[in-house]
Structure 1
Amino acid sequence: MGSARKHGNTSKMLHQVIEGAKSVGAETEFINLFDLNYKECTSCCSCKLKNSKSYGHCGG
């Protein structure tokens, strides 16, 4: 889930979808993206600069 409101309408709706999927045998997992520690790409391109210390991986 990508909503900042952990118990908002999106969460409630997704939990209903998950319950429906489980009821027919699907394996499910609810993941709240705001609980994860990640940083998106900022398009700095340091991963593409051959002389950069970040060449080949994200330096953001």
Structure 2
Amino acid sequence: MLSTQSNLNDLSIRIQNIRKLMIATGIEKGLDNCETLKYSEELDKLIIQLQLQSRLKLYS
């Protein structure tokens, strides 16, 4: 149980960090820049992972 919560916390922190990088890159280089898009895709994957793990936690 503790490791699941720790995992969720780690994912949340990673999401916050990638979101900050994506926003900063988007402001500096533009929203259609390949680096901004890379961060956006990574952010999407992390958010989906967080949602799935949160659901699993609810049903375990």
TM-score (norm. length: structure 2)? 0.35
Higher relative contact order (CA 8 A, sep 6+): 2
Bigger Rg, which one:
1
Structure with the largest fraction of helix: 2
TM-score (norm. length: structure 1)? 0.35
